Structure 1
Amino acid sequence: MSRRNGIHDGTVNVAILGCGRIAHHMAQTLHDMAGDERYSTLIRPYAVATRDDDPRAERFADRYGFDRAYGSYESMLADPEIDLVYVATPHAMHARHAIACMMAGKNVLVEKSFTANEEQARKVLDVASQTRLLCTEAIWTRYMPSRRIILDTLRSGVVGTPRQVYANLSYPVSDKARMTDPAMAGGALLDVGVYPINFVAMAFPEATPRSVTSSCVFTDRGVDEQFSATFWLDNGVAATIDSSMVSVGSRQGVIQGDKGYLIVENINNPERISVFDADHRQIDKILFPDQITGYEYQVVSAAKAILEGATQCEEMPHEETLRIMRIMDSLRAQWGEVYPFEH
């Protein structure tokens, strides 16, 4: 069987490390991609691994049509047929698992947040540089077609000169053990707050914060439960974001200019853009393309990058991952939030 850049017949064998909730979403995506003529020759749902639980891995593999099931991460990483590993473990484990994958010769797609802090992110990217393997952050909104459509709409001038932006993402998810566990880098920021931050960064890619004012409320275990922050960008835009893991939020992204404003419904998986003029009349509604789940775009980007011999994806380059981690570190510094493993 021929190989291109180490890949069998140009098809990338994808494995999932971890079997939690997010892993199921990715597995369903890979299953559906394998049955879609647009993607079936590009990727193959190949393997899944749990930590010390063979039956669970086997049930997962059977459910989604994976070829291999492993009851330990180490045994999966020893499989020479794996080309790309999707790291689907909690934030605090991302750095360790991503590095283990690359040291085993596997390219990695690391679920957001990339790591728990910038220091960890730099260690991961140092290994990526040493191994010359693909390493990219799996924050799906960065890879979706909606990103370009939102930016094109904004740059068309339909709302005039942007002056303010507001973005929210909030879900009641505090019942999940990892979300309230400091040792797992729990809290609203890394899990849901990362999306409003990225929304602002994608809308104004050339802008950087001049100053930040923020505050948060902690859980009784000392992780951020909900927070708000205002970023004064160097392009003159005031960006206000908020997130919570105990409330249902609007999920909206609102960009306001001197001629009107636009509303993006659901910044976590954009559904449409509504455009309003200065008199609050809706003048346009823009829909986004149909998709399998939305996860397919990051998989396609990673697979193509591997086939091309690239070490990062243009949708989320390493420097941008570091910049977002740095912003989140700065927010936690304002709040005095320190994870136990950071002491």
Structure 2
Amino acid sequence: MNIGILGAGKIAGVMADTINRMTDVKLYAVGSRSWEKANAFANEFAIDKAYGSYEELVSDDAIDLVYIATPHSHHYEQMKLCIEHGRNVLCEKAFTYNAAQAEEIADLAADKKVYVAEAIWTRYMPSRQMINEILESGVIGEIKTMTCNLSYPISKIERLIRPELAGGALLDVGVYGLNFIVMHMGKEISAIESSVMMHETGVDGQESITVKYEDGRMAVTTHSIYGRSDRKGIFYGEKGYMIVDNINNPQGIDVFDCEDRLIRHVDVPEQISGYEYEIMESLDMIRQGQFQSKSMPLSESIYMMKLMDDIRKGWNKK
């Protein structure tokens, strides 16, 4: 099956290298805002077709799936462009800028009978089920508290500090913390509280978010564009605790007892980059005639966008 990449930046390059190392899939085309950039990208990754506009890319009927790898602010219009041309879509996170845009995309995809999914890779990885199986085993007992964090020194990257490009910590890295919480703690949320420090450009530079559950559980996640965090997710139970190394791409899971003794270590499967799982599932769903992902259905993308909308409302951020 043929993949087309919309956008020719850093993330697109990681995906291109990943696809080239996969089997039963071909990196067929790339589209950029200029032919020169698309052609350079095509030469670097041995891609057959280079298009100097997104319209040309999505008009190619040989493409089975378009992967969108552009700033958050562009996702809504570019997904609409793909869907209106009958192209199946795998769009980078954050899916859209807000829930209203996500709902419109879901309605349009249903009307046109086109596959659309959000490419938040942690939803597709084997580690997701591995973490949940350990939690459900009861090895650390009842869990009332969980913490996680994700921060990188990325405040010098233009798209992350420009409001018109939907910049800020929440949509770029906070989306991983919130997805990690929902994947492993559920959606029975009673309240969300947050504190934020705004960047001088008007985007959120760093925040702390507390998610309260109806049954008394609580999860806290922090995100920043200023410094590197340890990226750990920690579950606290009555019999011990569990540490997930890197919530953005889990590398391993360690389980400790109440005396801080390591009682279990679990490695995650080897991977190309981690991006391959979302590609494999998308192509499987398309082959089966399905129009949504099983790991990240559009209802989940809309739900996550609503959570982030509510958080931003609390900051008086439109």
State if a TM-score over 0.5 links the two structures.
Answer: yes
> Structure 1 counterpart of 2:298, which letter?
H
Conserved 8 A contact 1:50-1:70: yes
Q: Secondary structure at the match of 2:21?
A: helix
Which of residues 46, 56, 61 in structure 1 aligns to 2:28? Answer: 46
Q: Where does residue 246 of structure 1 map in the other structure?
A: 226
Deviation at 1:248, TM superposition (A): 0.8
Which of residues 119, 128, 147 in structure 1 aligns to 2:128? Answer: 147
Conserved 8 A contact 1:224-1:337: no
Deviation at 1:213, TM superposition (A): 1.2
Deviations 1:51-96 (A, max 9, x none): 1x11211111111121100011111111111110001111111010
Q: Secondary structure at the match of 1:309?
A: coil
Unaligned stretches of 5+ in structure 1?
Answer: 1-11, 34-39, 339-343
Deviation at 1:321, TM superposition (A): 0.8
Q: Where does residue 103 of structure 2 map in the other structure?
A: 122
Which of residues 263, 268, 285 in structure 2 aligns to 1:288? Answer: 268
Q: Where does residue 335 of structure 1 map in the other structure?
A: 315
Aligned counterparts of 2:278 and 2:194: Cα–Cα separation in 1: 31
Structure 1 residue 18 and structure 2 residue 2: aligned?
no
Conserved 8 A contact 1:222-1:337: no
Aligned counterparts of 2:311 and 2:247: Cα–Cα separation in 1: 20
Q: Secondary structure at the match of 1:126?
A: helix
Unaligned stretches of 5+ in structure 2?
Answer: none
> Structure 1 counterpart of 2:308, which letter?
M
- For normalisation by structure 1, the TM-score amounts to 0.91
Q: Secondary structure at the match of 1:289?
A: coil
- For normalisation by structure 2, the TM-score amounts to 0.99
> Structure 1 counterpart of 2:263, which letter?
I
Aligned counterparts of 1:337 and 1:136: Cα–Cα separation in 2: 27
Deviation at 1:337, TM superposition (A): 1.6
Identity %: 43
Structure 1 residue 177 and structure 2 residue 166: aligned?
no
Q: Where does residue 6 of structure 1 map in the other structure?
A: none
Aligned counterparts of 1:98 and 1:235: Cα–Cα separation in 2: 38
Deviation at 1:282, TM superposition (A): 1.0
> Structure 2 counterpart of 1:321, which letter?
S
Q: Where does residue 8 of structure 1 map in the other structure?
A: none
In angstroms, what is the RMSD of aligned CA positions? 0.8
Aligned length in residues: 318
Q: Where does residue 278 of structure 2 map in the other structure?
A: 298
Q: Secondary structure at the match of 1:304?
A: helix
Q: Secondary structure at the match of 1:141?
A: helix
Q: Secondary structure at the match of 2:63?
A: coil
Which of residues 37, 48, 66 in structure 2 aligns to 1:56? Answer: 37
Deviation at 1:108, TM superposition (A): 0.1
Conserved 8 A contact 1:112-1:137: yes
Q: Where does residue 167 of structure 1 map in the other structure?
A: 148
Deviations 1:285-324 (A, max 9, x none): 1100000000000000000000001010110011111111
Tell me which stretches of 4 or more aligned residues in structure 1 moved more than 3 Å: none
Q: Secondary structure at the match of 2:264?
A: strand
